[in-house]
Amino acid sequence: MIVVISKDKDFSHTVAEQVQHELSLPCSIADNNEAAEALAGTAALVVTTENDAKRWPCAVIAIDKLPLRLPQLLADIAAQLQKQAGDALDLGQGYGLHARQKRLMHAASGKGVDLTDKEVQLLECLAETKSESVSKKQLLKQVWGIAALLDTHTLETHIYRLRGKLRELAGEELIAANEGGYRLAMK
């Protein structure tokens, strides 16, 4: 999703309308800080006329001068999203893992969730094998560098939290458990 943050309502509505019409992308408008903070957490990209571009946890296009050329802004938005897509690890079914941004995006809905470092590492390990199972022992060694002989519930706890975030994003179970391991349940 694209979020437009501006106190200029005409600008916001024009940009949102054009993003939806020309780029066929979901776009929301925020004209105050509370709305901006609520929306920016789910955004793939923020377009803002405010002086707080470094504040947002996603890619930002900061507009410092109005009026601007709308076709150029749309091209910049498309280029930024294409760049982000190129950086993503494809997990299947439209899910892209942006490891550097610690974010998992769902292309069709435009929604995303923030991940911890360990959650990113878990998804990367599971993605390496595609639909094959990765043993608990192997995940503990690769992600935490510890032997499976230790009595720990770290892996299960992280998988539980990650599943919750993924359900929030997709509404479906994306990590399947089987005998002694886990795999991505992407079809």
What is the DSSP code string of 117-144? HHHHHHHHHHHHTTTS-EEHHHHIIIII
pLDDT of residue 119: 92
160 falls in which pLDDT band (50, 70, 90)?
very high
More confident residue, 171 or 159: 159
Could you give the 3-state DSSP secondary structure of residue 184?
Answer: strand
pLDDT of residue 86: 60
What is the rounded (10 degree) CA torsion for 175, 172, 97, 108?
Answer: 160
Could you give the 3-state DSSP secondary structure of residue 75?
Answer: helix
Domains, the chain: 2-87 (3.40.50.10850), 89-184 (1.10.10.10)
pLDDT of residue 158: 92
Could you give the 3-state DSSP secondary structure of residue 93?
Answer: coil
Rounded average pLDDT over 87-95: 75
pLDDT tens for residues 30-86? 877 677 777 766 677 778 887 765 666 677 888 877 777 888 888 888 777 766 666
Question: Is the pLDDT at 161 greater than 90, yes or no?
Answer: yes
186 falls in which pLDDT band (50, 70, 90)?
low
In the predicted model, what is the mean pLDDT of the chain? Answer: 80
Q: What percent of the chain has pLDDT over 70?
A: 85
Q: What percent of the chain has pLDDT over 90?
A: 5
Q: For Cα atoms 19, 38, 97, give the angle at the middle one, nearest 5 degrees.
A: 70
Question: Is the pLDDT at 122 greater than 70, yes or no?
Answer: yes
Sheet of 27-30: strand order equals: 27-30, 2-5, 45-48, 59-62
pLDDT of residue 112: 81
Question: Is the pLDDT at 187 greater than 60, yes or no?
Answer: no
Could you give the 3-state DSSP secondary structure of residue 53?
Answer: helix
